[in-house]
A and B are shown apart, each in its own frame.
Chain A
Amino acid sequence: EVQLVQSGAEAKKPGQSLKISCQGSGYNFANYWVAWVRQMPGKGLEWMGFIYPVDSDTRYNPSFEGQVTISVDKSTDTAYLQWARLQASDTATYYCARRGRISGMYVVDVWGQGTTVTVSS
């Protein structure tokens, strides 16, 4: 079964750092782009960026560039999303997702279960 499993919920204070993870299984993780998507409480979905595990090629949504860092560890089939200094406005659920192919067409087809990050003093 193809799946992405994310790390558990986090409660942090403003100014702290954080790194959350997304581990793939059931497929050749290295050959598929992985996306990160933010969903603030009660709001819609926002694409943050993509990373390609083979060479760590990373593409950010300009709205998130410089605010977060996306990375990957091919040896453990795991992608990461990290913050150097959290703010209350980073409170959200974060999803990772795979860009797969169906009938030769690219599509974001598999999603992790989400990681809820709460930032509060």
Chain B
Amino acid sequence: EIVMTQSPATLSVSPGDTVTLSCRASQSISNGLAWYLQKTGQPPKLLIYAASNRAPGVPDRFSGSGSGTEFTLTISTLQSEDFAVYYCQQYRTWPPALTFGGGTKVEIK
């Protein structure tokens, strides 16, 4: 079973800052990683798929990188609507399965 570990658990930042969130897989997952943003009371929203591809409609201030076991999500020039919880997710094509990281909360300092 693959375990996904996100760090840090919480980031306290100011609007306009640039932040980097980390996600580590317990074994190599190639580029099978996605990033989601979740606001309170809402479902997750897809940001990044295949480690570095922005989903349709996602602003270019969001960027993903990495492969194998180490991945990062960078958010440039944080906007007020970006304060939320971010999850990484590993997905196995066959048989289909998902594993989520524990999440990183990006909060206003």
- Of the candidates B43, B53, B93, the one having the most CB atoms from chain A within 10 angstroms of its own CB is B43
Residues of chain A lying within 8 A (CB to CB) of residue B59: none
The answer to whether B50 touches A107 (Cβ under 8 A) is yes
Residues of chain A lying within 8 A (CB to CB) of residue B55: 102, 107, 109
The answer to whether A106 touches B43 (Cβ under 8 A) is no
Number of A-B contacts (CB under 8 A): 62
Which of B16-24, B62-70, B94-102 lies at the binding interface? Answer: B94-102
The answer to whether B96 touches A33 (Cβ under 8 A) is yes
Query: Which of these, A37, A44, A59, contacts B97 with CB under 8 Å?
Result: A59
The answer to whether B102 touches A108 (Cβ under 8 A) is no
Q: For the complex, what is the distance from the CA of A114 to the CA of B95, rounded to whole Å?
A: 25
Binding site for B on A (CB under 8 A): 33, 35, 37, 44-47, 50, 59, 61, 95, 97, 99, 102-103, 105-109, 111-114
Binding site for A on B (CB under 8 A): 34, 38, 43-46, 49-50, 53, 55-56, 87, 89, 91, 93, 95-103
